[in-house]
């Protein structure tokens, strides 16, 4: 999943981004509101962690602009991060289009849990556990099992499988996978998607899940919906 972290406190923004990357998310960072709007216009983010108090264009204005003139495709979820803790401030943020509100200072595990919850809401699932046939992914434990046997994945392989499982049965192009699983530093002209899909497929096959990920020639890849393989 692709996340944008927006905060004019550089150290905090970078710390949040590092933490989310360790959880397997593809994370971009913006240190001002104008840059956040520009990035959101160009990239289909699944979620934006958005600070309210910023110079020139604050988080509420960013949120309003994205809701009034949303980027193409499904609009991103917005988690507002702010030191303003009054009821009136929380109501104003939600009325501007935020999906959730987290008051600073906060513990990273709570931020991570709220990110997971908002992304589950975006994917129309209410549980931290994704199940596709015999394939099971526990987001909160960062664990994958196939027929109850553990499958050890890298953070990027885990993120790729998570995206496949939220869209099981759909054909996903390399471009879409690159947009949602990799960050803005990924080189679109490399074969990084193909290589990572290949290593993920081999690990699933080694665990007994042959033919779980189907290559659709000329279009992309698809996770077989029953998750059982051949």
Q: Are residues 91 and 158 in the same domain?
A: no
Note the pLDDT of residue 170: 93
Note the pLDDT of residue 124: 46
Contact by Cβ (8 Å): 109, 19: no
How crowded is the C-beta side of 230, counted as CA atoms within 13 Å? Answer: 4
Q: Are residues 60 and 159 in the same domain?
A: no
Structural domain for 91, as ranges? 2-122
Q: Are residues 80 and 152 in the same domain?
A: no
203 Rama class: left (phi>0) / alpha (psi -120 to 50) / beta: alpha
Residue 72's domain is classified under what CATH number? 3.40.50.2300
User: What is the rounded distance in angstroms from the CA atom of residue 113 to the CA atom of residue 81?
Assistant: 14
- Please tell me the total count of domains within the chain: 2
Note the pLDDT of residue 68: 80
Beta-strand ranges (E) seen in the chain are 2-6, 26-30, 47-51, 77-82, 100-103, 129-132, 135-138, 143-146, 149-150, 213-216, 220-223
The domain boundary, picked from 88, 122, 156, lies at 122
Contact by Cβ (8 Å): 26, 182: yes
The domain boundary, picked from 99, 122, 145, lies at 122
Among residues 123, 133, 139, the alpha carbon closest in space to that of 180 is found at: 123
User: What is the rounded distance in angstroms from the CA atom of residue 107 to the CA atom of residue 94?
Assistant: 21
Q: Is residue 137 part of a domain?
A: yes
Note the pLDDT of residue 126: 43
Residue 81 β-bridge partners: 51, 102
Q: Are residues 106 and 43 in the same domain?
A: yes
Helix (H) or strand (E) holding 193: helix 192-206
Q: Are residues 184 and 107 in the same domain?
A: no
Q: Are residues 174 and 201 in the same domain?
A: yes
Low-confidence spans in the chain with pLDDT less than 70: 71-73, 122-127, 226-230
Note the pLDDT of residue 230: 43
Q: Is residue 230 part of a domain?
A: no
How crowded is the C-beta side of 223, counted as CA atoms within 13 Å? Answer: 24
What is this structure's pTM? 0.70
Q: Are residues 75 and 142 in the same domain?
A: no
Q: Are residues 36 and 139 in the same domain?
A: no
Q: Is residue 229 part of a domain?
A: no
Q: Are residues 87 and 168 in the same domain?
A: no
Note the pLDDT of residue 79: 95
Q: Are residues 110 and 41 in the same domain?
A: yes
Q: Is residue 228 part of a domain?
A: no
Contact by Cβ (8 Å): 36, 4: yes
Q: Are residues 139 and 203 in the same domain?
A: yes
The domain boundary, picked from 122, 152, 173, lies at 122
Among residues 124, 128, 74, 68, the alpha carbon closest in space to that of 97 is found at: 68
Q: Is residue 65 part of a domain?
A: yes
Q: Are residues 9 and 75 in the same domain?
A: yes
User: Which residues have CB under 8 Å from 100's CB, separation 6+?
Assistant: 77, 78, 79, 80, 114, 117, 118
């Amino acid at each position: 999943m692709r996340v944008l972290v927006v905060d004019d406190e550089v150290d905090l923004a970078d710390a949040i981004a590092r933490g989310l990357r360790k959880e397997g998310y593809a994370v971009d960072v913006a240190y001002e509101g104008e840059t956040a709007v520009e990035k959101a216009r160009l990239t289909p983010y699944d979620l934006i962690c958005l600070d309210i108090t910023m110079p020139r264009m604050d988080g509420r204005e960013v949120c309003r602009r994205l809701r009034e003139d949303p980027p193409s495709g499904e609009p991103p979820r917005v988690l507002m991060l702010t030191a303003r803790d009054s009821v009136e401030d929380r109501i104003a943020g939600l009325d501007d289009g935020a999906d959730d509100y987290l008051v600073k200072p906060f513990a990273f595990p709570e931020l991570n849990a709220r990110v997971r919850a908002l992304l589950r809401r975006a994917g129309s699932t209410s549980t931290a556990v994704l199940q596709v046939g015999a394939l099971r992914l526990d987001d909160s434990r960062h664990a994958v099992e196939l027929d109850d046997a553990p499958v050890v994945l890298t953070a990027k392989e885990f993120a790729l499988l998570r995206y496949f499982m939220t869209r099981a049965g759909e054909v996903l192009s390399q471009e879409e996978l690159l947009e949602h699983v990799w960050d803005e530093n990924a080189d679109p002209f490399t074969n990084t998607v193909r290589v990572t899909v290949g290593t993920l497929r081999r690990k699933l096959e080694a665990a007994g899940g042959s033919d779980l990920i189907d290559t659709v020639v000329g279009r992309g890849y698809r996770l077989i919906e029953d998750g059982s393989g051949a």
